[in-house]
Structure 1
Amino acid sequence: MTFELLGGDFYGYANLLSEQEKTALSDLRDYLDTEVRPIVNDFWNRGEFPFEVVKPLAALGVYSFGWDETKPFENSAVFRGFVALELARIDASVATFRGVQDGLAMGSISATGSVEQRAEWLPKMASGEIVGAFGLTEPLSGSDAAKGLRTTATREGENWTLNGSKRWIGNATFSDVTIIWAKDVADGQVKGFIVPTDTAGYTATKIEGKISLRSVQNADIVLENVVVPERNRLQNAHSFTDTARVLRLTRADVSWAAVGIAMGAYEAAVAYSTSRVQFGKPIGGHQLVQDLLVKSLGNITASLGMVVRVSQMLDEGTQRDEHSALAKLYTTSRMRETVAWCRELFGGNGITLDHDVARFFSDAEAIYSYEGTQEMNTLIVGRAITGQAAFV
């Protein structure tokens, strides 16, 4: 098999992958190029999710690779990062769906669930039989979730009663289960619960009017006396420290997705630069257009080097919060800059969906903000540098 490097992988980082990983990545790329790319602009424009991709992506293993209970072969964190990149360079909404399913929902169960819970839920979610969501953010609590969580959990015998609300919860309009994080009224600690979405008192309402990630079905969730059995409490989630373990893993995936979005915009810009003729030749032959492309490629290459190393550290067991935080804040900043340069290259054509770049430009705004804002990630890294916490 001949494995082709992406045009944005200028230094050939994908050559670090094993042959089996390259084959799996090529299969995913073929599916995305032939089946997903042609439909995503229409779904994005209508604000709807392409449900027909859920099971084929499961068959390709994209929800399976990271978990011992489901992985089809031994694979590296660098490979799993490239999976996130490949998805995002085609469509950030599909990449976000996978990030919620595989990273946040399955990651919560894998990192903080019992052996029995992992065995019960992970295979069903890996196959796409069950879709998951992750309920942490609230209407009045986002960056301050560690202390500001308002959703409560009250134990009554072998059951827990949940009350509160969540906001911006991806997949939540159609998820089968949602991981709800709530504060135990008895000890004040944050705990996690696997909540079937057909439970009485649970309602999810789609958030309308978005300008970014329009295909992602974000929802407002209301929990009114939602009763959850003790067996559905994540048995190894005892405080927000355990929640943060999940976020540390997904923050690295978001960094890879940011590189993918920048790469998708860059690839669209390169293609346009060879076909659009101005002043008697393709615009790619003009110096200022080449400047935009070269600066974009520089951002992508620097960001890709960073996320590769962060993922290697994850495999080595040396990755810490500040490592994934620095990667997230840096790569999303460079992504934001890159998609703006690429959109600029298109002129007026860059504000329509005809050439994809407008979608990448818009979707970058959500990626820039979610999974930890620039400010919060800066404070995490600043604390590591100085030894001083500056959060309040």
Structure 2
Amino acid sequence: MGPGPISAYPSVLRAMSAPLVGQYDPFMTATMAETQDLYRRVWATENDATLLIDGTSRAGIEAALVSLIRPGDRVLVPVFGRFGHLLAEIAERALAEVHTIEVPWGQVFPVSAIREAVARVRPHVLALVQGDTSTTMNQPLEEIGEICRAHGVLFYTDATASLGGNDFEMDAWGVDAATAGLQKCLGGPSGSAPITLSERAVEVIRSRARVEAGIREESDPDAADFVRSNYFDLGMILDYWGPRRLNHHTEATSMLYAARECARVLLNEGRAAVIARHRLHGEAMLAGVGGLGLGVFGDLAHKMHNVVAVEIPDGVPGEAVRSTLLADFGIEIGTSFGPLHGRVWRIGTMGYNARTDAVLQTLAALESVLRRFGASVPAGGGVAAAEDVYAATDAPGGD
């Protein structure tokens, strides 16, 4: 019940046990094509360039940024949590000229601040996290794509923590590149990174000089223009997933099966229904920690549906509470880092764990452990507050 990774859907774990096949087996190529189509629906896009990067969600981020950025390109990164700093670091490693703007942790950027920064910096790429689990904040994106188009800027967003549990409209919002991971709202294991690219982004990627064979001499005047990573070169990966099926790497078969099943679970339930389920159980958990008399960090108007940052009460040993929850109840909640280290626990309600029994059991266990460490909390207050949320909604509380 932390900020991710979380418990995978049982059907995803079953899918991973299917027999392995090679990347040129007709079943493999058909499965890759099916998975691409499923993720177009997950992302709400018509992008032909929708596929998977074999690796964790960070692999998807790095593939997008190193493939879109040339050395010396200006990149603007609005930072409102730990993962904005990560985007800036990766862009710097791609030899970009990185510009950052920041707001305090627990807040998001007003559109006006991003508009002003884009007009001032004139970046090649705007790289912006949607949901940052370090702060639990969900940055509004609806107006950002229009700002970027008006200034000829490519708009990339990291939706690792938000996709599947919060609204995301790739095409309607004018996003050019987006990446995610399976291990949060999509309800799978870490190790596969869904990615989708607009035609504008693909055009930039295709324009990059690549080493098709052999080694480029350092004296070559175009040497600075090719992608410095082989594994994360999206130009090559697009050819691997596209009709040419040019060999690039050995496909991670079991992760492909997992990613496909994550998408199938979401689409069978319905995108809107899954987002509503995350909203419901997130609201129940939020009410429940409030019912225990615990404070919550951040601007709640912009909190993600799927994780809440709970302020650790004075005098309560935060790490000892986490360890006891895990040892005695089999429940893991998250710690935090940066300016929030030692100040909050992060409790997730996402994917398979966005369900009533998981919420109520976590709140009951947390109450028990808090009492054990001397905290004065209302008896049954967490469970009762969460049950009030469930009782007030017509949405099903269980699965």
Q: Same fold (TM over 0.5)?
A: no
Which protein has the bigger helix share? 1
Which category describes the TM-score, using the shorter chain as reference length?
under 0.3
TM-score (norm 1): 0.23
